Structure 1
Amino acid sequence: MKKFKVCLLVLLLVCLTLVGCSSNTTNAANTTNASSQVAAENPQPEQEQAEQKLYKVGIIQLVEHPSLDYVREGIIRGLKDSGFEQNKNLIIDYQNAQNDQSTLDNIAKKFVGDRVDLIISITTPATQIVAANTSDIPIVFSAVTDPVSAKVVESWEKPGGNVTGVSDLNPFEAQFEMLQKVVPHAKKIGIVYNTSEVNSQVQVEKAREFAAKHGYEIIVGPIYNSSEVLTASQTLASKGIDAFYVITDNTVATSINSLAKVAIDNKIPAIVAEDSQVEGGCLISIGIDYNLHGYQAGEMAARVLNGANPADMPVELQQDLMVVINRETQEALGIELPEEYTKQAKYVP
């Protein structure tokens, strides 16, 4: 009887132990499931980063000079402020063609071969090259004067293809009004420009129209490369021009110091389109802020990366104008400038 009671007690203890183990296993399983559910609902930062798409953008620039560099800086800032930042969710492949057409074409082909998500082009020639190389990769341009004349979009309102962007079309009316007020006696206006740049051809034709309205004679100094800027400027000065009007010409921009020196040496005011041309020694400009211009293009690029279709995005213009005056050049010319410009101007250097 005593042995029976002992056996019964041992059996009872074994049963209790088995029940306890089962309970612990169930609780552990429940805890594991709950932890997994919480982790799924609240992913860790490393998991979020792994799941975030990494975009690749190619930036193609015709040549290096201050205005275009300002554009590029503005583009990167516009992308960042719109949520696309380098080393986080964005890789930028920046390429500069140094004003060489074959290099432009090679860069465009590289971007297409790399299957970048977006191409951002700076200048008309760069845009024309990339547009000729791809019809499916989206393109956002900047520093393009007339995209319709350049044949990269169907119209300003409805681009219609894979290309859209921000135009730097000159505010001709404002610039010729400035010329009239700064040099009221002027009759002959000299323009140095690269005849092979479509954007320059468009601007010269526009300048002729506005010059006719104001009673000016336009005398041109055609060039084909930057080494000819000095000679063309000297030739115009020898023809008795009363003022230089400098358009947004990429070739002239790379040698703007040469034109500015001729203008100062001959006491000829130079009214220009770009702030960087004033920094290079010309007298005064009224035009767009190229850093803001680039920022606007960066914002457009971000919208495309977020799914917008370039075909339905109208080409944009920058509305805010900026006056810049070179103080040293003003003193060298001994010229007094109208207060309407001096009170709002940014002075350099």
Structure 2
Amino acid sequence: MAWRSIRMRRRDFLRAVGAIAGSGTMAISKAEVQVHRIGVLALDAPGPAPLLLEETLKRRGWTLGQNLKIEYRMYNGDTDLAHRYARELIALRPDVLYAITNTSMAALQLEGSTIPTVFAMVSDPVGRHYVDSFPRPGRNVTGFTPFVPSLGGKWVSILKEVAPDIQQVGLIYNPEPGNNAAAFRKSIDDAANVAGIVSVEAPSGDSSSIERLIVSLKEKPNSGLIFLPDAFTWIQRGHLTTLIGQCGLPAIYPLRDFVEAGGLISYGIDMKTIYVGAATYIDQILRGANPAELPVQVPTEFELIVNQKAAKHLGLRLPPTLLARADDVIE
């Protein structure tokens, strides 16, 4: 009887120890699943950047709703809204901020954020004082820049090759704060002087001046357009390429999307490469990397896309040498 009582007490003791151990394991496992947060300030939804962010992070072991939460704010080309959303995201104190486009980065910078930040599609991070240098950003910010200043001269030379009689060029970008025109202006002006282009005009004031500039060049013979990388013009690309076609102006664009929307020709990067690269930097920072020590990455490959239908509409015969260089020709 006594032996049975001892056995029962021992069994109860072991059950209690097991229960305590089990509950402790559960508590530890719950504590170990730390949820990291990313704040994303982007142009539009769904958009390629947010989708590639989630896909890339998933491949690297992050699962939404388990160890990862992403807060999105989409400003849809509205600069004032971008600044409001920048304040909202900073107030949430995420582990990393992701700034997609010049407007996004400018808005976060204006709010004085010290949160680790990765940017994509930002053209002049040194000139705008986001980073100290490309090799050593030196601050809380790093990322992937899709354009180098020398591209400005390349756009001029390609446009002149397509339309040799051009004498006036209009630069198209959103002139509101956060634009990146300064990054390209010197190389554009230098190439224009060599090519015999007599004037380079730019919009002023607000975004409504973009259309005024386009229409004004319609009245000037031998005019053409160069689109600088800009979130506002990208989101308006369908409307703008239609207007330019109606005005009969040859134009070169920085991204393939403009040509697919009806534009004549583009020379620039594949955005997917930039977005995947930015997502890998976000992954590294979530795992403890210091953004100050992650070099800003620049593109090494560019693609030339041509729209033959648009060329025919403008009465242009594209040089065979240019067509031979093209990565893709849209018929």
**TM-score in terms of structure 2 length:** 0.82
Q: Which runs of 5+ in 2 are unaligned?
A: none
CA distance in 1, matches of 2:308, 2:68: 41
Q: Give 1:82 shift.
A: 2.9
Moved over 4 A (4+): 17-37, 46-50
Q: Between the two proteins, what is the percent identity of the paired residues? A: 23
For the pair 1:253 / 2:234, whether they are aligned, the reply is yes
What does the per-residue CA deviation read over 1:270-295, in whole Å, with 9 as the maximum and x for residues that have no partner?
11111122123211111011222111
Q: What is the aligned partner in structure 2 of residue 190 from structure 1?
A: 170
Match of 2:88 among 110, 121, 127: 110
Of residues 165-174 and 286-295 in structure 1, the stretch that sits farther from structure 2 once superposed is 165-174
Q: What is the aligned partner in structure 2 of residue 145 from structure 1?
A: 123
Question: How do 1:59-70 residues align onto structure 2 when only pairs under 5 Å count?
Answer: 59-61=40-42, 63-64=43-44, 69-70=47-48
1:76/1:215 CA distance change after superposition, 3 Å: farther
Q: Secondary structure at the match of 1:198?
A: coil
CA distance in 2, matches of 1:65, 1:223: 29
Q: What is the aligned partner in structure 2 of residue 233 from structure 1?
A: 214
Letter aligned with residue 162 of structure 1: N
CA distance in 1, matches of 2:34, 2:190: 50
The answer on whether the counterparts of 2:131 and 2:141 sit within 8 Å (CA) in structure 1 is: yes
Q: Give 1:56 shift.
A: 1.1
Q: Give 1:135 shift.
A: 4.4
Q: What is the aligned partner in structure 2 of residue 160 from structure 1?
A: 138
Q: What is the aligned partner in structure 2 of residue 281 from structure 1?
A: 262
Of residues 162-171 and 293-302 in structure 1, the stretch that sits farther from structure 2 once superposed is 162-171
CA distance in 1, matches of 2:45, 2:66: 29
The answer on whether the counterparts of 2:165 and 2:222 sit within 8 Å (CA) in structure 1 is: no
What does the per-residue CA deviation read over 1:13-35, in whole Å, with 9 as the maximum and x for residues that have no partner?
xxxx7657767876897899899
Q: What is the aligned partner in structure 2 of residue 97 from structure 1?
A: 75
Q: Secondary structure at the match of 1:140?
A: strand
CA distance in 2, matches of 1:184, 1:239: 15
Question: How do 1:1-349 residues align onto structure 2 when only pairs under 5 Å count?
Answer: 51-61=32-42, 63-64=43-44, 69-170=47-148, 171-196=151-176, 197-334=178-315, 335-337=317-319, 338-342=322-326, 344-345=327-328, 347=330
1:245/1:332 CA distance change after superposition, 3 Å: same
CA distance in 2, matches of 1:80, 1:247: 33
- Which structure has the bigger radius of gyration? 1
1:77/1:35 CA distance change after superposition, 3 Å: same
CA distance in 2, matches of 1:79, 1:241: 49
The answer on whether the counterparts of 2:308 and 2:329 sit within 8 Å (CA) in structure 1 is: no
Superposed CA RMSD in Å reads 3.3
